[in-house]
Amino acid sequence: AQVGQGFILQQPQDKVSVSAGDTLTLTCSVSGAGPLGPVKWLKGWGSGNETVYDQRSSFPRVTRVVAESSTDFSIRIRDVQPEDAGTYYCVKFQKSVDGDEVFQHGKGTEVSLQETTLVPGMVAAAVVLCFLLLLLLLFVAFFMYRRKRRGEVDSQCLAGPVAVGSFSPIPLRCCAGTPSTTSSEVQDAETSHLPRQQSSKEDNSIHYADLQPLPVAPRRGRSPGAACSEYASIKVAAK
């Protein structure tokens, strides 16, 4: 009893806030001559307490701040998890016939986990990343739009002459001999697809006629509704 009177246990921390994944340090020290018995760290008090550290067992995430010290019983808990939140007590036990009994304990340290706050640099980086991603999406959308429009224009250019009739398949007539320049023969060439009787006399040139319908336009000296045509002649030396 006289030995235990000079014993003092100090647990100075009231509250400690720590982030998940960090290392938690709990401080405890003793002074004076105490009774025989271990010093333990308990989480919670009463029948539902949990032993976090004692001198005779090994705990994977818990280590002594000063190993093998007889006065400093501070501990470190690494990789703190949400389930580590609670109140921790540094307790001095004394040996008795019935086992270890509580001799003295600290007032307890309440441990809470704080939410991880984003630093300004991380916020700025996230904003810049989102902006660059938005620009990339807009660029891809614009590229796809231009490509689609270009395809539509190309298809219209290919289909346009057919719709207008500039390159519609019109039978071309090839005949040997000198074409007549009278309007009646030109009209016969436009309306008749029957081959003309070739001249018995062999000519020295071949004429190709491509008759294309022209848009109807009012002209002086021509009755309304008269069909217009275009005549082209190319002379090639006969072999």
pLDDT in tens, 206-225: 555 555 555 555 555 555 55
Encoding tokens for residue 35? 């009774």
In this prediction, residue 218 carries a pLDDT of 57
Long-range (24+ apart) CB contacts under 8 A made by 53-59 are none
What's the rounded mean pLDDT across residues 187-191?
49
When pLDDT is averaged across residues 187-201 and rounded to a whole number, the result is: 49
Percent of the chain with pLDDT over 90: 34
CATH code of domain 13-113: 2.60.40.10
Locate 13 and state its tokens: 């921390």
Would you state the torsion angle of the CA atoms of residues 123, 126, 127, 130, taken in this order, to the nearest 10 degrees? -160
Residue 40, number of CB atoms within 10 A of its CB? 22
Distance CA 214, CA 201 (A): 34
Residues ≥6 apart with Cβ < 8 Å to 179:
185, 207, 209, 233
Give yes or no for residue 64 having a pLDDT over 60: yes
Cα angle at 94 between 90 and 95, to 5 degrees?
Answer: 140
pLDDT at position 211: 56
| Three-state SS letters, the chain | CHHHHCCEEECCCCEEEEECCCCEEECCEEECCCCCCCEEEEECCCCCCEEEECCCCCCCCEEECCCCCCCECCEEECCCCHHHCEEEEEEEEEEECCEEEEEEECCCEEEEEECCCCCHHHHHHHHHHHHHHHHHHHHHHHHHHHHHHHHHHHHHHHHHHHHHCCCCCCCCEEEECCCCCCHHHHHHHHHCCCCCCCCCCCCCEEEEECCEECCCCCCCCCCCCCCCEECCEEEEECC
For position 119, what pLDDT does the model report?
56
Counting residues of the chain whose pLDDT is more than 70, the rounded percentage is 59
pLDDT at residue 238 tops 60: no
Question: Measuring CA to CA, which residue among 164, 165, 155, 198 is closest to residue 179?
Answer: 198
Q: Indicate if the pLDDT at residue 191 is higher than 80.
A: no
Check residues 30 and 214 and name the one with the higher pLDDT.
Answer: 30
Cα separation of 226 and 116, whole Å? 88
Mean pLDDT of 166-181: 48
203 residue type, one letter: D
Of 53, 49, 48, 50, nearest to 63 (Cα)? 53
Q: Alpha-carbon torsion 183, 185, 187, 190, what sign?
A: negative
**Span of 32-41, 78-87, 126-135, 187-196 with lowest mean pLDDT:** 187-196
pLDDT class of 176 with cuts at 50, 70, 90: very low
Task: Report, as an integer, the average pLDDT of 5-27.
Answer: 93
Does the pTM exceed 0.75?
A: no
